[in-house]
Amino acid sequence: MKVTISIRDSLQRLFTPSCLLCDASCSETGNAGISLCMGCQQDLPWILHSCNGCALPIESTELDYCSACQQSPWLSDQVICFVHYASPVDYLIKKMKFGHKLSAAKVLGRLMAQQIVQGDFELPDAILPVPLHKKRLRSRGFNQAQELYREINKTVAIPLLKGVERTIYTEAQTLVKGDERAKNLRGVFSVKLGSTVPKHVVILDDVVTTGATSNELSKVLKAAGVEKVTVWAVARATPN
């Protein structure tokens, strides 16, 4: 009997995913197939209330927009980020983007899907993962926003928007100072001639910092005929 139980326990440990952060078992009820234990999920730096316009946290639940967005709104209509770009989320995102650890993309994408369903979000007509230039896509081997979409789409089936490209290669945004980021991205995105666009599009990204990427994409999408642009991102970083 003890031998049978021991074998069964060993097999269960073998086929049960471990938490990417603490290596604990992820077999708990309600884990939703996410390779983070419930303890680590609960300890993530969740954003409880944020500005609708830029997703920066705001203390007053009576306010929908921060003072900056009231004076100078972004070009997108709404920005939703789920967690702060802080430990351990920054670790997971860096592992995904620069460590080629797609298991982290699965975790982050499934966390987003979970929040989208639980939050009863208005679903768009299509999702646009932020495009990478072909040169960067070749060097990295994958588009992290596309990997997030892949996981979200398993839970919430939303069409992928095609026909939007990054046509100009630029220095990575992480290497550009905050006030230069918008200039670095000016004119880099385009919608292919003859492409049709729906009324409501979600731009999908891993991190929002200054909003330069989403603003440039929003400008291009609205010029092509999109009526509403929402941004979904895993994390919100605070600009330096």
Q: pLDDT tens-digit profile of 114-173?
A: 999 999 899 999 999 999 999 999 999 999 999 999 999 999 999 999 999 999 887 666
Do 9 and 26 share a domain, yes or no?
A: yes
Do 217 and 160 share a domain, yes or no?
A: yes
Do 20 and 104 share a domain, yes or no?
A: no
Q: Which residues of the chain have pLDDT under 70?
A: 1-16, 27-33, 171-179, 240
| Domain closes at, from 13, 28, 43 | 43
Do 34 and 57 share a domain, yes or no?
A: no
Do 39 and 146 share a domain, yes or no?
A: no
Phi, psi of 30 (to 5 degrees): 85, 10
Do 141 and 187 share a domain, yes or no?
A: yes
CATH of the domain at 107: 3.40.50
Number of domains the chain contains: 2
CA dihedral 129, 133, 135, 138 (to 10 degrees): 10
Find the distance separating the first CA and the last CA of the chain, reported in whole Å: 61
pLDDT at position 61 is: 86
Do 201 and 183 share a domain, yes or no?
A: yes
Do 16 and 117 share a domain, yes or no?
A: no
Do 21 and 72 share a domain, yes or no?
A: no
In terms of residue numbers, what domain contains 38?
A: 1-43
pLDDT at position 175 is: 58
Do 129 and 165 share a domain, yes or no?
A: yes
Do 115 and 35 share a domain, yes or no?
A: no
